[in-house]
């Protein structure tokens, strides 16, 4: 499942390929459910002729700024990925949408599980459809400080792991990097968020920033159906310290790493280093 670093990698690649280019007629949602708002035929018609000003990210949403002030928003969800194809290239068996460009090339959306969605509208319109307005701070923005994190965790009785996954608390952190950040910080993922001390919050802040920056540097983590928009695979997997490594020795202390379930999500940690 793509997380912040993977989505940022896709955004960077899309920005290079799409900026300044226009969508041609012929956008088609092979599976109409991929169009989240408005419905497929209208979304396709409204996109025709629109030029891309730039591509950016908010949490795990890809925001494509169009020349009429509206946004094309793409949410990859679990298995969605984008790629560019020359005209006439054979369809992938899980092709859900094709977006022809003026240049003749097509931007294609492939999504095995069909959870991915496209949205088109003004920021105000879209805020009624997707929770863009209620998202927490971006963990890699300068506004995200240990104090910001502390204020967001204060009063939260839930497990710190679950609170970190709440996109209203922090935007873009998912299961992989929540586990990795808690390991970096030496904090047991099951502890109540509100019980963390000032030094622990500072360590957690540093851990979140470090694991995301490190993953960004390597183009995101390779998992299942994640691909960069050019079909590239991220290369971060060997750098993960605890995620999906239960039963193996902790890279720091040698104790056996464990897996448990926190808030319904598989959680990986060292019972010795993380207190
Ligand atoms: Zn350990």
Q: Is 90 a catalytic residue?
A: no
For the chain, which ranges sit under pLDDT 70?
218-238
The pLDDT score that the predictor gives to residue 2 is 78
Q: Report the separation in Å between the CA atom of 208 and the middle of ligand 1, taken as the mean of its atom positions.
A: 18
Distance in Å, CA 85 to ligand 1 centroid: 46
Residue 207 backbone phi and psi in degrees, to 5: -65, -45
Q: pLDDT digits over 251-270, tens only?
A: 999 999 999 999 999 999 99
**Cβ(139)–Cβ(26) below 8 Å:** no
pLDDT at 216: 85
Ligand 1 centroid distance, CA of 223 (Å)? 24
Q: Annotated catalytic residue: which of 17, 57, 58, 60?
A: 60
- Name the token pair of 38: 């408005």
Helix (H, G, I), strand (E, B) or coil at 47: helix
Q: Is 2 a catalytic residue?
A: yes
In contact, 79 and 48? CB cutoff 8 Å: no
| pTM for the structure as a whole | 0.85
Residue labelled with tokens 């839930």: 158
> Would you call 60 a catalytic residue per the annotation?
yes
Beta-strand pair 71-75/35-37: unpaired
Catalytic-residue membership of 3: yes
């Amino acid at each position: 499942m793509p997380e912040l670093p993977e989505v940022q990698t896709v955004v960077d690649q899309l920005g290079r390929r799409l900026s300044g280019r226009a969508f041609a007629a012929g956008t088609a949602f092979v599976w109409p459910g991929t169009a989240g708002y408005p419905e497929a035929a209208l979304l396709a018609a409204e996109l025709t002729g629109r030029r891309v000003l730039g591509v950016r990210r908010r949490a795990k949403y890809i925001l494509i700024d169009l020349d009429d002030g509206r946004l094309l928003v793409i949410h990859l969800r679990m298995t969605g990925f984008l790629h560019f194809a020359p005209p006439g290239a054979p369809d992938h068996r899980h092709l859900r949408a094709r977006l022809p460009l003026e240049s003749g090339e097509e931007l294609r959306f492939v999504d095995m599980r069909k959870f991915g969605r496209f949205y088109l509208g003004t920021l105000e319109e879209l805020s009624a459809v997707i929770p863009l307005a209620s998202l927490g701070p971006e963990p890699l923005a300068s506004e995200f400080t240990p104090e910001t994190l502390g204020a967001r965790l204060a009063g939260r009785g839930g497990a710190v792991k679950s609170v970190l996954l709440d996109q209203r608390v922090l935007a873009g952190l998912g299961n992989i990097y929540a586990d990795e950040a808690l390991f970096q910080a030496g904090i047991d993922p099951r502890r109540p968020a509100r019980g963390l001390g000032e030094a622990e919050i500072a360590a957690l802040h540093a851990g979140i920033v470090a694991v995301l920056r490190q993953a960004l540097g390597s183009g995101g983590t390779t998992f299942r159906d994640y691909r960069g928009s050019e079909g590239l695979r991220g290369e971060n997997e060997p750098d993960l310290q605890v995620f999906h490594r239960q039963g193996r020795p902790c890279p720091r202390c040698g104790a056996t790493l464990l897996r448990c379930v926190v808030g319904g999500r598989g959680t990986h940690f060292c019972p010795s280093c993380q207190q």
